[in-house]
Structure 1
Amino acid sequence: MGKKRNEQQRLCSKMSSKVVFGVIFLLHLLEAFSLAVLSSNELDMDLSPLPTGFLFGTASSSYQYEGAYKSDGKGMSNWDNFTHGAGRYVIYGGKNGDIANDHYHRYLEDIDLMEALGVNSYRLSISWARILPKGRFGEANRAGIEFYNRLIDVLILKGIQPFVTLSHYDSPQELEDRYGSWLSPQSQEDFAFYADLCFKTFGDRVKYWATFNEPNFLVPLGYRSGIYPPCRCSGPLALVQCSDGDSEKEPFVAAHNIILAHAAAVDIYRTKYQIEQKGSIGIVLQHEWYEPLSNSTADKLAAERARSFTFNWFLDPIILGKYPTEMENLVGSLLPKFSSKEKEKLKKGLDFIGVNYYTAFYVQDCMYSACKTGQGSSRTEGLYLKSGVKNGVPIGEQTKFSWFNIYPNGMEKAVTYVKDRYNNTPMFITENGYAHAQEDDPKHTLEEDLNDSKRIKYMVDHIEAMVAAIRKGADVRGYLAWTLLDSFEWIYGYSVRYGFHHVDFATLKRTPRLSATWYKQFLAKYKETFLLATTMTRQEKLLQHT
């Protein structure tokens, strides 16, 4: 029996080895097949117009990624307060970012994922409340500062350039409690104090600074509709019941203070740090593209008003020194005035514009024509009506989300618009990504979720549209995809997923999607092509001198 058993064990061992070898071989075969498919369909792009030093990376934000909301001396942020209070009734599933992706504790693992993708840049934001729990009214939190020092150092060690946003929707709750945050000019002093600390502490290694992320999105949601903190709203423009606020006036006050806070931070950077640190500073704005619903002059004017009341609202004062004419004509009495001193500070402007592009809408005039009530249709919003459909035909491929229409041409048009209006100020595409719904159906498998071919197509089409704008002269210097990981998506909680990597929020396990494989191969091919082009250029120069 012993000999027979040993023989059976040897036989099983041989069979097991063959099975294991076969499985490994099959996995490599499947990977090679998937890469071959990607190579033929999604990797053949002409990227020759991209400038030297072009940044390809991913983007994130502190509240959406870090978690650790009470760890190591961090103070409460406005989003901590919101998600534990009124936000529970607004956010899908009553979720919060207490843990999120636990990036605070898992940043090394996440940087390894970035390195595996081959990105050369990573856009992150600093949690203001983590390093200044009480703003300028308290001591800096050394543990919070050390976390960002470690994060930045490891990124640089891995060859990944940090691209840092100072405020990505979150700010210390202390400032809201003390004086109403962005409704008070004191917020400008606090932001300047915070920015100064960041420049002094991290600026020797950070070469790209953004003051704010999407204030043109934050302000209307926080001070008009009330669905973002500080949940202030009133009247028919309110989407929730707010305890206080003025939807007609407060958005313009908050925006004014944010614009001047940006100017204060830029002034500090230019005066004290930029010459030595050799970095650049800008602002990041959401740029939905608006197409006129018809060829009528009224609808064309409405599309421009829509841009003026969203994108140009912030950039015109920063670059051109005044609010857009369309805003002055409609709501001039509600717009705060810039003093002579403030106008001088605004002249410091910015070094680059960050453009977050995702989607587009048709726009119908509501100034000269009657139209139904909807987003944008009030005077304080610009008297236009947004729609994703024209004569029953969608502007682009529709998704499960009414706010997300796939319209790649909008990327080229949005970038070209910025080029033309703002004298071709350097740009970065600071966010662009594909949203899909978290499937609650138990029949929907992880394997189905990981096969995100629609995300790949979305990003290929949008990168090609960006390249088309560059080919026409737009000074675009980087593309930062949203995002590395599934994350907390504000009022949508964890129901919307954007990541190259699936995150199981019960275990926090990261699993790469097909799009991660695509981005990795895309970047590898770009580097190979760029290296070849650089080598050929050097050879041509050598031949010219022989």
Structure 2
Amino acid sequence: MQYEGETNKHGRGPAIWDTFTVEHTERINDRSNGNVAVDFYHRYKEEVQRMKEMGMDAFRFSISWSRVLPHGRLSAGVNEEGIKFYNDLIDDLLKNGLQPYVTLFHWDTPQALEDKYGGFLSPNIVNDFRDFVDLCFQNFGDRVKKWITLNEPWMFSVQGYDMGTMAPGRISVVVNDPHRSLNTGATEVYTVSHHLLLAHAAAVKLYKEKYQSCQGGQIGITLVSHWFEPYSNSEADQNATKRSLDFMLGWFMDPLTNGDYPQFTAEESKMLKGSYDFIGINYYTTYYAQNIDANYYTTYDVNNNASSLKEALNDPIREKSYKDHLKNVLRSINFLIYSNNYIIKLPNPSNWDSISIYCSEHGVDVKGFFAWSLMDNFEWGSGYAVRFGLYYVDYKNDLKRYPKQSVKWFKQFLRRDSHIWFGMLKGQEMPECLRQDLKSKLLASAKWDFTAER
């Protein structure tokens, strides 16, 4: 959805984001959609060459469920054109020395399953997801050695079924907004999360029992969490900080590591516990947590009984505290995948260097990182209004790409240069479209993945 484009062509069926961007254009900042995105479907070979030239050795991408199964279900037919697209992409990556890291679900439930039984609101989704990933393992697993079942299930549940800011746009309480008046109660966000965990466990079980021994790959999940600091020194805010972390990270981490979660059967709990070869943590920034009193109505936020205030801008990244917390929670895991997605105003070279130094000083075994993202792209509810790419995309000029300062930095970093100069590419005139964005304080970001195994 964010990259590929060609959403209604080449046999792809609609997904919930296609419907959401049509029926709820007011919830997208610039009222855009992903119909074209950055046209990765047709330009992927160019992008592979850009990554190769930068010195990267891996690429993480998602498989669109409805591109390979247009109607969501295996029994309803396979789109061979979709299978061919991903086969061609994987082959081109490997030919150019890039290892594919494949995410199986990135919030794009096939619309057919949403219409048939409510998508992830129904336990029926577990079997259909198992069939979908089985198809992927069969067709791509001989070359794909790193699988990620779900990307940030917390975001999909809370934003899609509580706040309504992401597809399918369901909201847990009536709000004073004519476009956001659906009252689903406070249960859907938990129901969806429950089914996401079961779908993950089913996929891992299938892979380990049927494919892992012959294909030799690994499978895991990517979670998301902020770090939280108490807004004050009060005991109430201290407790709110712990609750905030539990409601964001612990909600999904505890079932995976301990099998501990309400309403799981003994068999489900056993299937969930330890259902990973690696765990990814997408870590963005630090927020202040403040206690709030319970209200007469129930929502996810009220259940949490804590409010996340603005970012702790003077101390936005707390890797050491976060790492120590994860060590305490996950004693049996030697290393994790961490991801930092942070936004800086250009130019600010000191921030980049300090991240690397900080991680090294605190013993984090940095095995690699992924940049989010290679290109500017469709950023969900933000549309094209924010730019996270290493390459600037000129949406008004045939999606022409221009390298940002971060491309130069990454090239030198990947060559292990002793000194990284964070300047513009020498000898290259800055295009006017990029110059204007920089004048308006263009934002850049990087998502850092520190990879390791159990």
The one-letter amino acid paired with 1:453 is: P
The one of 316, 323, 343 equivalent to 1:407 is 316
The one of 286, 311, 326 equivalent to 1:418 is 326
The one of 181, 195, 213 equivalent to 1:275 is 213
Partner of residue 373, structure 2: 483
Q: Please give the alpha-carbon distance, in whole angstroms, between the structure 1 residues aligned to 2:356 and 2:62.
A: 24
Q: Please give the alpha-carbon distance, in whole angstroms, between the structure 2 residues aligned to 1:219 and 1:240.
A: 22
Q: Please give the alpha-carbon distance, in whole angstroms, between the structure 2 residues aligned to 1:463 and 1:236.
A: 45
C-alpha change, 1:420 and 1:459, in structure 2 (3 Å) is: farther
1:525 matched to 2:416? The reply is yes
Shift of 1:414: 2.4
1:163 matched to 2:53? The reply is no
In structure 1, the gaps of 5 or more residues are: 1-62, 324-334, 390-394, 398-405, 437-451, 529-546
Q: Please give the alpha-carbon distance, in whole angstroms, between the structure 1 residues aligned to 2:81 and 2:350.
A: 42
**SS class of match (1:266):** helix
In structure 2, the gaps of 5 or more residues are: 420-454
C-alpha change, 1:240 and 1:251, in structure 2 (3 Å) is: farther
C-alpha change, 1:179 and 1:377, in structure 2 (3 Å) is: closer
C-alpha change, 1:503 and 1:75, in structure 2 (3 Å) is: same
Using the size of structure 1 for normalisation, the TM-score is: 0.72
The one of 85, 91, 104 equivalent to 2:23 is 85
Q: Please give the alpha-carbon distance, in whole angstroms, between the structure 2 residues aligned to 1:112 and 1:459.
A: 25
Partner of residue 466, structure 1: 359
1:508 matched to 2:399? The reply is yes
Contact map agreement 1:433 1:458 (CA 8 A) in 2: no
- Structural RMSD (CA): 2.4
C-alpha change, 1:212 and 1:101, in structure 2 (3 Å) is: same
Q: Please give the alpha-carbon distance, in whole angstroms, between the structure 2 residues aligned to 1:430 and 1:276.
A: 30
Partner of residue 233, structure 1: 171
Partner of residue 389, structure 2: 499
Shift of 1:208: 1.0
C-alpha change, 1:468 and 1:165, in structure 2 (3 Å) is: farther
**SS class of match (1:235):** coil
Q: Please give the alpha-carbon distance, in whole angstroms, between the structure 1 residues aligned to 2:110 and 2:385.
A: 26
Partner of residue 125, structure 1: 62
Q: Please give the alpha-carbon distance, in whole angstroms, between the structure 1 residues aligned to 2:128 and 2:29.
A: 32
1:302 matched to 2:240? The reply is yes
**Large movers: runs of 4+ above 6 Å:** 237-240
Q: Please give the alpha-carbon distance, in whole angstroms, between the structure 1 residues aligned to 2:176 and 2:417.
A: 47
Partner of residue 424, structure 2: none
Higher alpha-carbon deviation: 98-107 or 427-436: 427-436
Contact map agreement 2:284 2:339 (CA 8 A) in 1: no
Partner of residue 253, structure 1: 191
Partner of residue 313, structure 2: 396
Q: Please give the alpha-carbon distance, in whole angstroms, between the structure 2 residues aligned to 1:269 and 1:527.
A: 42
Q: Please give the alpha-carbon distance, in whole angstroms, between the structure 2 residues aligned to 1:98 and 1:349.
A: 35
Contact map agreement 2:256 2:273 (CA 8 A) in 1: yes
1:453 matched to 2:347? The reply is yes
**SS class of match (1:248):** coil
C-alpha change, 1:482 and 1:461, in structure 2 (3 Å) is: farther
Contact map agreement 1:486 1:500 (CA 8 A) in 2: yes
Matches within 5 A, 1:192-207: 192-207=130-145
**SS class of match (1:311):** helix
Shift of 1:475: 5.7
Shift of 1:280: 1.1
Q: Deviations over 1:100-156 (max 9, x none)?
A: 010000001111111111111111111111111112241111111111111111111
The one of 341, 361, 366 equivalent to 2:267 is 341
Shift of 1:68: 0.8
1:384 matched to 2:306? The reply is yes
Contact map agreement 2:174 2:183 (CA 8 A) in 1: no
Shift of 1:366: 2.2
Shift of 1:245: 4.8
Contact map agreement 2:286 2:316 (CA 8 A) in 1: yes
**SS class of match (1:361):** strand
Partner of residue 280, structure 2: 354
Contact map agreement 2:174 2:180 (CA 8 A) in 1: no
Q: Deviations over 1:225-262 (max 9, x none)?
A: 11211111242578774464524111000000000000
Q: Please give the alpha-carbon distance, in whole angstroms, between the structure 2 residues aligned to 1:492 and 1:453.
A: 23
Contact map agreement 1:118 1:524 (CA 8 A) in 2: yes
The one-letter amino acid paired with 2:326 is: V
Higher alpha-carbon deviation: 293-302 or 493-502: 293-302
Shift of 1:435: 6.6
